[in-house]
Amino acid sequence: MNFEFTEEQEEIRMAVREFAEKEFTPELARECDQKEEFPMELYKKAAELGFIGLHFEEEYGGQGYGLTELCLSIEELCRADSTLGTAILIGGFGSDMIHMFGTEEQREKYLPQVASGEWIASGAFTEPARGSDITMVDTSAVKDDDGYTINGGKTLISNAPIADFGVILCQTDPGVQHRGSSLLIVDKGTPGFDNNPIHGKMGIRAATLGEYSFSDCKVPLDALIGVENMGFYHTLEFLDVGRVAVAAQTVGMAQGALDRALAYAKERTQFGRPISDFQVIQHKIADIATQIEAARLMTYKAAWYIDQGRIIPKWSCMAKNFATSAAGRTVSEALQIFGGYGFIAEYDIERIYRDVRVTELYEGTTEIQKNMVARFLLRGE
């Protein structure tokens, strides 16, 4: 076993950290949070440095790295700021479906635009009546000789108001549930394709959210990603990778909360001495650090397996479940160290507390992760 990152991986970590420390100002984070505004200029700066599409091959504008390097980048971005880091992380959401299952023509058309920061992507799976259940979807896509006609709607879609294209999970064979869904690319401006923003989110407010609606929306045959009627299985594989990225996101958020709590505990005095001198604060710090390290180890183990060509859904679900739950607990404890000041927007910990909560909901709720882990174990996997 070797628990050390390579020299190149450490260089990536430090490059991302340097960028985030320079560009992620508290003023920008608060502004984007308050206005629910995506930091487009910041996103493009990250792209110029190669941090967007880091895992895309060089011919598609990426750096050719694996999931481990991507997770290192994500952790550092979200450690520096939970709001801005998450917005940058989610900016390319959905494009990985094209990277994993798309044709060469689709990859050449979309991936370089995402990697350069010119285009924002979205992935649309959730529906109002279905939630976490994607075994059958209500959004239909009827095929003819010219393409697919889409009708229906999606909700709680990251980037929907600003995305240049969406990857949409549709039912192409309504009679066989999950064995009859497909993935289709729909470009912004396609007739019959519309979006509606959703405002008032609790956290990660710089990552825009919205709904999609489709009314006789016609896309060509070559909009199909992967194999027709295999969309459910493609989505599961995509999520098995994406859940590890979410785990890295929450490790970064939790580490950022600990960084701030440590600094505050050293400078805040009560009863004539720094509160870091009190055993109750020391125990909180020790517990927070231990849970973060456990989540980090599980996250990078899952990423390592995937980089070895072994996508093991059990590990992805365990990493996502543990890391997001641990982050929720540790950020709450970090806020407690701040006392009443932690409840005020002037302190970043208040924003981290709001931001981290959603990670137990998207890309499969905590309960869904537990269901899946138990199912794998009961099958002897």
**Residues tagged active-site:** 363
- Pairing of β 269-270 and β 273-274: antiparallel
Measured CA to CA, the distance from residue 223 to residue 41 in angstroms comes to 29
DSSP per-residue string spanning 67-105: HHHHHHHHHHHHHH-HHHHHHHHHTTTTHHHHHHH--HH
Q: Report the candidate in 314, 200, 312, 332 with the shortest Cα–Cα distance to residue 257.
A: 332
CA distance 103 to 43: 26
Q: Is 189 helix (H, G, I), strand (E, B) or coil?
A: coil
| Whole-angstrom distance, CA of residue 141 vs CA of residue 170 | 6
Report DSSP letters for 190-232, one per residue: -TTEEEEE----SS-TTS-EEEEEEEEEEEEGGGEESSTT-HH
Q: Report d(CA 73, CA 16) in Å as an integer.
A: 6
The sign of the dihedral angle between the CA atoms of 224, 227, 229, 232 is negative
CB of 85 closer than 8 Å to CB of 77: yes
Task: Tell which residue, 80, 17, 25, has the closest CA to residue 249.
Answer: 80
User: Looking at this protein, which amino acid is placed at residue 306?
Assistant: I
Residue 55 φ/ψ region, left for φ over 0, alpha for ψ in the -120 to 50 degree band, beta for the rest: alpha
314 strand-pairing partners: none
Q: What is the DSSP string of 306-361?
A: HHTT---HHHHHHHHHHHHHHHHHHHHHHHHHHGGGGGSTTSHHHHHHHHHGGGGT
Q: What angle do CA 85, 87, 92 make, to 5 degrees?
A: 110
